[in-house]
Structure 1
Amino acid sequence: MQTSRPTFELDSPVPLYQQIKDSLRSGILDGSYPPHSRMPSESELQEMFEVSRITIRQALGDLQKEGLIFKVHGKGSFVSQPKTIQNITSLQGFAESMSSEGHEIVNRVVSFSFVAANEEVASRLALDPGAKVAEIHRVRLVNREPTSYEITFLPEALGKKLQRADLATRDIFLILENDCGVALGSADLSIDAIPAHGPMTRALDLKKDAPVLRVERLTYDSDRQPIDFEYLYFKGGTFQYRLRVDRKRPLKANRKA
């Protein structure tokens, strides 16, 4: 924790509260203030930075708006658990995306079995109801913290190819491409929020009915054949999907000469 007063530019066009916010923000991002640790109180920050309480409150207010801290009534401000972010404008596996952002990814394989596909799984994978499919349950840990519980279904033939694969350290997408010779094409996603239940509550250290982000993802190969259907459950407050969308401009009516 910082103990000496940082140097600020009093003549800077950047407001003093923003300079203080940037200083505290740097401390949060570099780990000087670890996740869930208590931030110095307003009076402690006043003394540290030698500024008014109003200036400190402006800086803390901005940090709260950014989601870097949260306030507990009567106890002060605490550092938020940083969210992992995945951009969904391109088709990537979770570890593939997170590793590129510098995160450490570990997969804990809970189970791997062959089961009869229920109606929904069979429909998504274009199989007959009751057809045998591989069902894989994994917990994904980001920087050693459990972040998601994932259930993956694949047609039996592909599932058999994955039986000997290293699912603890590799993405299924990369295994399909590099080991199985499957050219991935596209995926359909749907996202909603549901209450936690079943094995995910234990795996993600959640209370029953705590909110989780659920992503249903159906992945196709380059020939538009469905090959991978997944339920991805993300622990609330730890993960964020990001997507950039462009406004579609209406076509101009053809003008007659």
Structure 2
Amino acid sequence: MLNKDSRIALYYQLMDIILNDIEVGNLKENTKLPSERDFCEKFKISRATVRQAIAELEKNKIIYKIQGKGTFIAPKKLDQPLIKFYSFTEEMIKLGKNPTSQILDFSIINCDERISNTLNLDILSKVYKLVRIRLIDDLPTMYETTYLPTSIFPNLTLDILKEKPLYTILKENYNIKFLKAEESFFPILPTEEEASFLNVSTYDPSIKIQRVTFSSEYIIEFTESIVRGDKFKYKVILDADNSTF
């Protein structure tokens, strides 16, 4: 219950109660939050106090509103630890999610200077360009553009890409053994096109991830992903055993 004698503001105490109910599972993802009247009657507080708590939770994307239907609990951010090479599809399955992809474009292009430098190819070498929307439980979460050298992956087709995840294709169809990947992260605002496909606004913070993937012999992939900032958080594990202090 709320402590009206406390120096902690009532709206903040209400926020804490709601957050705790979410944490322990009393309020589950995408379920409807009790109405303002319900909160007022249960805690004997004003509607203004309830609205302030709701506004703060919405600002922090803990909840979301649907016009005419009410206020709902937002899905938790997916926690992606960065400690080893990972596959988006495999990691989402481990979390109990249903990952899918929609292919927006698949074509062969001449790589420009940036792509040739990244993939260690001659300028104007042929590369596949694969543009996808990555979805989790049917929710768009990532706008992804991948470049693959045609010389390493001959005869890759759209039909093959529709059959199974990309990394599975590279392993099974081309006997690729992944050595490592290097990733760089940048805070950005999405473009109009990216925002449209991700169902966000151009003012919603996002994360740009650049990944370069290596096999024992080649650089095999360059991928740029625009990730919804409200759906993902990335965690780096720092090992004290290898520290310099």
Fold match (TM-score > 0.5):
yes
Aligned Cα RMSD in Å? Answer: 3.3
- Which segment drifts farther, 241-250 or 115-124? 241-250
Partner of 1:173: 167
Distance of aligned partners of 1:78 and 1:176 in 2 relative to their CA distance in 1, 3 Å threshold: same
Partner of 2:88: 94
Equivalent residues of 1:148, 1:204 under 8 A apart = yes
Q: Which amino acid aligns with 1:126?
A: N
Partner of 1:10: none
Q: Which structure's CA Rg is the greater one?
A: 1
For 2:100 and 2:137, the matched residues in 1 are separated by: 8
- Which segment drifts farther, 79-88 or 106-115? 79-88
- 2:229 pairs with 229, 233, 236, which one? 236
For 1:40 and 1:123, the matched residues in 2 are separated by: 56
Equivalent residues of 2:116, 2:124 under 8 A apart = yes
- Give, in angstroms, the shift of residue 157 of structure 1: 2.6
- Give, in angstroms, the shift of residue 23 of structure 1: 4.1
Partner of 2:195: 201
Give the TM-score normalised by structure 1: 0.72
Partner of 1:44: 38
- Give, in angstroms, the shift of residue 96 of structure 1: 1.2
Which one has a larger percent helix, Structure 1 or Structure 2?
Answer: 2
**Tell me, what secondary structure is at the counterpart of 1:160?**
coil
Partner of 2:26: 27
Partner of 1:123: 117
**Tell me, what secondary structure is at the counterpart of 2:161?**
coil
For 1:217 and 1:160, the matched residues in 2 are separated by: 22
For 2:78 and 2:22, the matched residues in 1 are separated by: 20
Q: How is 1:1-257 mapped onto 2 (pairs within 5 angstroms)?
A: 22-25=20-23, 26-29=25-28, 31=29, 34=31, 37-41=32-36, 44-45=38-39, 47-48=41-42, 69-70=62-63, 79-163=73-157, 166-168=160-162, 170-197=164-191, 199-208=193-202, 210-223=204-217, 225-247=218-240, 248-250=242-244
Partner of 1:6: none
Equivalent residues of 1:162, 1:175 under 8 A apart = no
User: What are the Cα deviations for residues 52-105 of structure 1, in whole angstroms up to 9, with x where unaligned?
Assistant: 76xx99xx79x95xx673599xxx975234322322212122111101111011
- Give, in angstroms, the shift of residue 179 of structure 1: 1.7
Partner of 2:5: none
For 1:204 and 1:70, the matched residues in 2 are separated by: 18
Give the TM-score normalised by structure 2: 0.75
- Give, in angstroms, the shift of residue 237 of structure 1: 0.6
For 1:108 and 1:231, the matched residues in 2 are separated by: 16
Distance of aligned partners of 1:177 and 1:209 in 2 relative to their CA distance in 1, 3 Å threshold: same
Equivalent residues of 2:106, 2:158 under 8 A apart = no
Partner of 2:6: none
Distance of aligned partners of 1:169 and 1:208 in 2 relative to their CA distance in 1, 3 Å threshold: farther
User: What are the Cα deviations for residues 154-184 of structure 1, in whole angstroms up to 9, with x where unaligned?
Assistant: 1013443431554346322221112210000
Q: Report how many aligned residue pairs link the two structures.
A: 220
Task: Structure 2: give runs of 5+ residues left out of the alignment.
Answer: 1-13
Equivalent residues of 2:143, 2:198 under 8 A apart = yes
- Which segment drifts farther, 161-170 or 230-239? 161-170
Partner of 1:254: none
Equivalent residues of 1:165, 1:175 under 8 A apart = no
- Give, in angstroms, the shift of residue 134 of structure 1: 0.5
Q: Which amino acid aligns with 1:244?
A: I
Q: Percent identity?
A: 22
